[in-house]
Amino acid sequence: MIKKYLQFLNESDDEDIDPYGEENWNDKLPTDEDDEDYDPTPTPSEIKEFLSEWGQSNDEITSNLGYDEEGSDDLLVDDYFWFEETEQWYPKDCSSYSEREQEIADYLRNH
C-alpha cells in the first residue's frame, strides 16, 4: 500500500494539482482494494486484539445500556452480535471502529 502511495505521488506532476479544490484527491489515492496482494481476512492476532478490546459480557452490556437481563437479547441483536467463543457481545457497526476493525467485526459476524 505504501509503495503504491509513493508511486502515486511520484507520478503526479504540477498539472495534476487542483488549487481550487474542484477535484477530490481521495478518489485518486490508492486503497487496500487496489493492492492485488490485499487479503481482507483478519489474522489470528488481529482477531484476538479485537475480541479483547471490544467485547462486553451480557451483564456489562445490559448494565451499560440500562436493559433488564431477561429479554435483553431481543433488544441487543439490532446493534450487537453475540460471539459464542468468548460469550460476549460486540457492536455490529461502531463509529469508533477503524476501517480495519469494521472489517474484522464483519468477518466475525459472517463466519
Does 60 share its domain with 106? yes
Does 51 share its domain with 78? yes
Does 32 share its domain with 46? no
Q: What average pLDDT score do residues 46-68 get?
A: 94
Query: Residue 41: what residue type?
Result: T
| Domain tally, the chain | 2
Structure-block grid coordinates of residue 78: 439490532
Per-residue confidence at 46, pLDDT binned at 50, 70, 90?
Answer: very high
- Nearest of 24, 31, 50, 32 to residue 106 by alpha carbon: 50
Does 107 share its domain with 67? yes
Has residue 18 got a pLDDT over 90? Answer: no
Has residue 52 got a pLDDT over 80? Answer: yes
* 80 beta partners: 91
Has residue 107 got a pLDDT over 90? Answer: yes
Coarse DSSP helix, strand, coil percentages of the chain, rounded to the nearest 5 percent: 50, 10, 40
- Residue 97: give the domain boundaries: 41-111
